Amino acid sequence: MQKITPFLWFDGQAEEAANFYVSVFKDARITDVARFGSEGSGPEGSALTVSFELFGQKFVALNGGPEFAFTPAISFYVDCQSQEEVDYYWDRLLEGGQPDACGWLRDKFGVSWQIVPSILNELLQDPDQEKAGRVMAAMMKMEDDPLFPAGTNMVIYRGNPQAKLMIVGEAPGADEDAQGEPFVGRAGELLTKIICTMGLTREAVYIGNILKCRPDTPGQASGNRKPTPEEMQTCLPYLHEQIDIIRPEVIVALGATAVEGLLGRTAGITRIRGQWHTYRGTPLMPTYHPAYLLRKTSLDEKRRVWEDMLLVMERLQGYGWEGIEGMIAAGISGRDVIRTGMVGFTEGAMVHGIFHGDLHGGNLFVLADGRIALLDFGITARMTEKERMAFLRLMITGATGDIKGQLGAFRDLGALPDDVDLDWVIEELRLDGEVFDPTQMSQEEMMAELQRITKALLGMGARLPKILMLYVKNLVFLDGAIATLAPDLDIMAEVMNLFASMAGRHGDVLAAQMGLLAGEEIAVDETAVRAAFGMTEEDPNPLTHEELRRRRDMIRSRMGKR
């Protein structure tokens, strides 16, 4: 049984107020109405008292006359679990009322309400007393925005006050003003897509603006305007309080105006985007405003935003592709990263017939758990089933030393004419003879051999189709990645591991597709793999990336002599 019941004094509005509150709160009802009789002080039949419940809390509204009025000294605290709840109760209770500071409002009957996200109470009770003190100090200093024009909404923030990522724009526009939420409309939808592409949600980040209200547009029926430097300077103290309370790990500034307000720099956004800056001790990344991308729809502009967000994700979630020192400090092995990438690439190509065709350090980073994150599928190699089977055979026959099988795979990938005689190709290219070790050849011998092979390939109609061109491009990237992350990598051991991994994951399916009998195994021919790199059986050196780099430097030096 509820022992204490709030008793609210109205001047003839008790029933109207109770009905209003019951309409606002979802779990609410009128429980009793006592009316004046012919001898009462109020009109006969009008309400004397109205009993009602809001979420199980009992209230009584009394029509007591004009002697007393409500003041903010007594208020009702509404604990909101989400931004949607904050927006709903604020908008409903404010109908015909008046907003006050610190999330308080007075409704049309004069009753004061506190519309407060539950996170605020958690922040005030934070074990970190310094943080809790900053929250209280900020709350006590909050007043109405001095630029707040009549008839508009305050737009404070959206998202998680404990977020690692804070996104800051310049000011609310007409859509934001109408809805009381930052970044809505088409620009907001695009920002949401960008956030989701980063593996986050709007609810997981903190989104706000320098100005908390839409700049006034006198004489304009519609449209928005850029806030002035003076307006931004006036509102920056509020943003500073938000930053100090939230303590984000990264701030993203959207657009040139926001950058000007935060960093005081008027240089074009194109010049300073993609570079780290610092604002109040927090790393800040400038990038294009989503509204700009709606006007400039070229892929180049979108790619620049993805590149900026990749840098943000690296800072928040992992390590840049060349951040080997940070990976080692976190216990992440560069060799394991390379292995993960090789398995993922091979699996995608051999099993699913698809791979990214433009791998580079700008669209990859390493997560804290060692997994590889890949953004930007701008160039994608999508193989037909015939091409996938040919690629599968190319990988298998290359590892097993089946030269004719490799040439057949090249043919089916479009590198050789369909009617080419594979035995003739083997003979013309001398693929069935001894292995040529280029490190044992003179400059003249290497030039003569290259000319002979080039002439033979052109004569048989050889070409480099898109699939193989993208594959070679990725091999070049892989070579550079190994040099950075695992320069002492044992190539042969990784080839063996790759085959073991594919056999364990997809062995039965791939064997059936290759036409192998049940239980028939595919053995890697180490001699053939070494021969593909120009290493003879007599060469005692192991097949490591370091050894390949040494051989490459030797050949480059020899070819550079005149």
pLDDT tens by residue, 342-352 = 988 899 999 99
pLDDT of residue 533: 86
pLDDT in tens, 408-452: 999 999 999 999 999 999 999 999 888 888 888 999 999 999 999
Query: What pLDDT band is residue 142 in, cutting at 50, 70 and 90?
Result: very low
Q: Count the alpha carbons within 13 Å of 162 in the hemisphere toward its beta carbon.
A: 11
pLDDT tens digit sequence for 285-334: 999 999 999 998 888 888 889 889 988 988 888 887 777 888 888 888 88
Q: What is the pLDDT of residue 262?
A: 92
User: What residues does CATH 3.40.470.10 cover in the chain?
Assistant: 144-319
Candidate from 245-249, 510-514, 519-523 with smallest mean pLDDT? 519-523
What is the rounded average pLDDT of the residues 223-229? 83
In what helix (H) or strand (E) does residue 47 lie, and over which residues does it extend? Answer: strand 47-54
Provide the total of helices (H) and of strands (E) in the chain, helices listed first.
Answer: 21, 19
For residue range 440-484, what is the model confidence (pLDDT) as tens digits?
A: 899 999 999 999 999 999 999 999 999 999 999 989 999 999 998
Outline where 69-184 has alpha helix (H): 83-93, 118-124, 129-141, 174-179
Q: Is 229 helix (H, G, I), strand (E, B) or coil?
A: helix
Residues 174-191 have a mean pLDDT of: 87
* pLDDT at 144 exceeding the cut of 70: no
On the question of pLDDT at 151 being above 50, the answer is no
Percent share of the chain, pLDDT over 90: 43
- The per-residue pLDDT for range 381-401, each reduced to its tens digit, is 899 999 999 999 999 999 999
CA distance 329 to 397: 40
DSSP for 182-200, written as a single string: SS-HHHHHHHHHHHHHTT-
pLDDT at 236: 87
Q: Identify the CATH assignment for 144-319 out of 3.30.479.30, 3.40.470.10, 3.40.50.300, 3.90.25.10.
A: 3.40.470.10
pLDDT in tens, 62-95: 999 999 999 999 999 998 877 678 888 989 999 9
CA-to-CA distance for 185 and 191, rounded, in angstroms? 10
What pLDDT was estimated at residue 123? Answer: 62
Is 60 exceeded by the pLDDT of residue 221?
no
Higher-scoring residue by pLDDT: 101, 256:
256
Query: For residue 483, what is the enclosing H or E element?
Result: helix 466-485
pLDDT at 146 over 60: no
All CATH 3.30.720.100 domain ranges of the chain, comma separated, are: 7-63
Q: 364 is written with which tokens?
A: 């990859």
Q: How many CB atoms lie within 10 A of CB 198?
A: 20
- pLDDT for 526-555, tens place per residue? 988 888 888 888 888 888 999 999 999 998
Q: Domain 7-63 - what CATH class? A: alpha beta
pTM confidence score:
0.58
Residue 125 has pLDDT above 70, yes or no: no
Q: Which residue has the tokens 């409500």?
A: 70
Residue-by-residue DSSP string for 233-287: HHHHHHHHHHHHHH--SEEEEEHHHHHHHHH---S-HHHHTTS-EEETTEEEEEE
Q: What band does 120 get if pLDDT is binned at 50, 70 and 90?
A: low
For position 150, what pLDDT does the model report?
Answer: 42
What is the per-residue pLDDT for 130? 65
